[in-house]
Amino acid sequence: MAKSKMRKIQSESDKPIRLALYIRVSTDRQAEEGYSIEVQKERLIAYSKTMDGQVTYELYIDDGFSGATLERPAMQRLILDVQNKVLTHICVYKLDRLSRSQKDTLHLIEDVFLPNDVAFISIQESFNTATAFGRAVVGILSVFAQLERENIYERTRSGMQKRVEAGFWPGGGGVPFGYDYDLERGILIPNADAETVRQVYDLYLKGHSLQNIANMLGLKYEKLASQILLRKTNIGIIDYNGVEYRGLHEPIVPVEVYEKAMALHAQRSEKKLVASSGHLLTGLVYCGVCGAKMRYQKWGNAGFKLVCYSQQISKPYLVKDPDCDNETVWAEDIERAVIADLMEMTADRINGGGEDRPLSLTETLQKKKLLLEQKLRRLYDLYSEAGNSILLGSINELTAEIKKLDEKLREEESRGLWTKNAEAARKTLLNIRETWPYMDTREQRSLICSVIDKITVTHNAVRIDYKY
């Protein structure tokens, strides 16, 4: 019969106790409420004197650090000492001094302290993790610590919301370029950079690109110029959680200047307007058989043809139907057809085909959206009967197009930007016969992209959909 081995369990009083006294205060208010460093230190040292055995202690103090994260100097030193077996016990005045995050509290106790045989003690809650009961209680109490942190966040957020509604700057984030924050008054004040902000708008409206503007004004990145241009703070608006509020601060630029810049930006930002392209219709031509885009392809020395992406293997993600049987067409023929249609524009046709009252752009967009929604419903019906990847791709495309129309509608309703673009396009079209021969390819392409939404080629037949 095998002999069992008996091992004497060393009691806590037999071991020298190397105790870490962890102290944290994040704000002056906490100090006033009884959590000051001196109060915590006094009570923790007093507790250490009640422990049995040979006790030595070391203080770990984080002064002015939030309990929402573990990125605190003393906390990081504490963790390192635990992992290096320097400590046997850790003691805090109250659980939330360790952390206000449930996740971080449990991580420290279960993944750092216990695996390294370090007991955790909280004197306010009267437990320690050397016992099973203490380990259970710490899980419960850390939930309440997390709850308090979330309550603090909600109260702070609610306070910021009220400030913004009253027109004050919410704080808690970066101050916009061109402004300083007046802490006493709680509002933004234009500073010396305000003149640079005005120059950004002036140069942009004169036709300069954002990269050129950044270079001319010594801005580090093109993105900074873009952020300055788009920021509504410059006209006295505070955008908070997606809602606009009238701020108490002084605008840097007039609303009229901002809206002109936004109208120009909307026109330039059309994703199909690829100024770098050497071809007139790049990005505008679609296959009428499968719905895929069509691309320019060099055809020997004879010129370029427009080829459906479904018939190409270079970009498989653009393939809609690998069996698409649409013909390739000479790009020059399609370009001629588009130019001829533009040249045939008359005042009646541009203004709505001679109707008594031409549709407003909002009505035009709504009408187009309705047609797309009807088409989408038909596709859903077909997909429910016989689902396939081609139908699903068409559904996703239509959904994205409807979403884009919704964005245009919102912009039109709020600022009338698209109406301004439409008016500019109509004026250009009325004089197109006289101006076209004097435009270079880039200018011609810019005009086409500003007025044409889509060109569909189906077995040599061409359909042109205009934006306005």
Catalytic positions are 26
> Could you give the residue ranges of the DSSP H alpha helices within 210-321?
210-217, 222-230, 255-268
Phi-psi domain of 64 (left: phi exceeds 0; alpha: psi -120 through 50; beta: other):
left
Between the alpha carbon of residue 300 and those of residues 231, 259, 281, 345, the distances in Å are 49, 48, 20, 35
Q: Which of 57, 55, 65, 18 is nearest to 41 (CA)?
A: 57
CB 163 within 8 A of CB 183: no
Residue pair 72/61 in contact (Cβ under 8 Å)? The answer is no
Helix (H) or strand (E) holding 287: strand 285-287
Picking from 134, 107, 102, the residue whose alpha carbon sits closest to that of residue 120 is 134
Please, which residues have CB within 8 angstroms of residue 306's CB and are 6 or more apart in sequence? 281, 285, 294, 295, 296, 297, 328, 329, 330, 331, 334, 457
Coil, helix or strand at residue 256: helix
* Cβ partners under 8 Å of residue 282, min gap 6: 274, 295, 296, 445
Tell me which DSSP letter residue 120 carries: E
Picking from 115, 106, 28, 110, the residue whose alpha carbon sits closest to that of residue 63 is 28
CB 205 within 8 A of CB 257: yes
Q: Which residues, at least 6 apart from 315, have a Cβ–Cβ distance to it below 8 Å?
A: 309
Helix and strand tally (H, E) in the chain?
Answer: 17, 15
**Which residues have CB under 8 Å from 423's CB, separation 6+?**
none
SS3 state at 239 = strand
